[in-house]
Amino acid sequence: MRQNRRIPIQVKPKYAVVVDGETEFWYIQMLKRNERLISVDLKPEIPQRKKISEQYSKVVDLSKDYDKVYWIIDFDVINKETREAKRGTKTALQELKEYWDNIEKNHKNIVVVIVNNPCFEYWLLLHFEATSKFYNSHDELIKQLKKHLSDYEKSQTYYTKQNRDIYLRLTSKLADAISNAKRLTEFDFENPSRGLSQMHLLFEDIGISPTKDGK
């Protein structure tokens, strides 16, 4: 008698993405909507409270249940709070450095920190420009981005509109964005005033690596 063979069920690795803003959350949702064949289960998470300490706690908690956790950090608020910190008090940058070092020591194989400096829109700009310019504010960067996306707005409708969502609009330039991001230096706590986005780390890990001819 022929024995029935059980075909093992392949379970996708589970990746969580912790973000501190709605734009990143909407973008990851649209990535999932348009890239249905990615080999991982990708879940965006926004902590109810968005202080650095609370984001860090969320990341550590998720690392117990997920194969990988990505912590996407916008630096505009961190830079602002660091500049305004009273002399002798711990700055937001110093606080983050402590969390960063702990991740490197205890969670390096699970947690990946992704920096956008000053903000997520730097990643969008890299779809159009090979730049390393540092923008002092979110508004300054948006002004430059609108030279390429004149109708850009930070709204759920703009990001998630059916058949014209943010990911779909930019997908033909994704290879350029990844290439431009990889050319930039890694984040340096000793020199935080450098423009960069490390979003390419997420795309490489989940197996999205388009070529410039769109294939």
Q: What band does 40 get if pLDDT is binned at 50, 70 and 90?
A: confident
Q: What is the mean pLDDT of the chain?
A: 90
Would you say residue 73 has pLDDT above 90? yes
Q: Which of 90, 85, 17, 15 is nearest to 53 (CA)?
A: 90
Average pLDDT over every residue of 37-47 = 87
Looking at per-residue pLDDT, the higher value among 128 and 6 belongs to 128
| Whole-Å CA distances, 112 to 60, 86, 167 | 11, 31, 22
Instruction: Dump pLDDT digits (tens) for 115-164.
Output: 999 999 999 999 999 999 999 888 999 999 999 999 999 999 999 999 99
Q: What band does 6 get if pLDDT is binned at 50, 70 and 90?
A: low
Helix axes 92-106 and 52-62, enclosed angle (nearest 10):
10
Q: What is the pLDDT of residue 168?
A: 96
Would you say residue 202 has pLDDT above 90? yes
Q: What band does 5 get if pLDDT is binned at 50, 70 and 90?
A: low
Would you say residue 3 has pLDDT above 80? no
Contacts of residue 202, defined as CB under 8 A and 6 or more positions apart, other chains included, come to 17, 70, 72, 112, 114
Q: What is the pLDDT of residue 80?
A: 84
Rounded Cα gap, residues 145 and 170, in angstroms: 13
* DSSP code string of 123-172: HHHTTT-------SSHHHHHHHHTTT-TT---SHHHHH-TTS-HHHHHGG
Tokens of 69: 């956790």
Would you say residue 7 has pLDDT above 60? no
Would you say residue 65 has pLDDT above 90? yes
Q: What band does 9 get if pLDDT is binned at 50, 70 and 90?
A: low
- For tokens 């890694």, the residue is 186
Would you say residue 182 has pLDDT above 70? yes
Instruction: Dump pLDDT digits (tens) for 94-113.
Output: 999 999 999 999 998 999 99
Q: Which of 69, 73, 75, 54 is nearest to 107 (CA)?
A: 69
Would you say residue 22 has pLDDT above 80? yes
Q: What is the pLDDT of residue 8?
A: 55
CA 86 to chain centre: 30
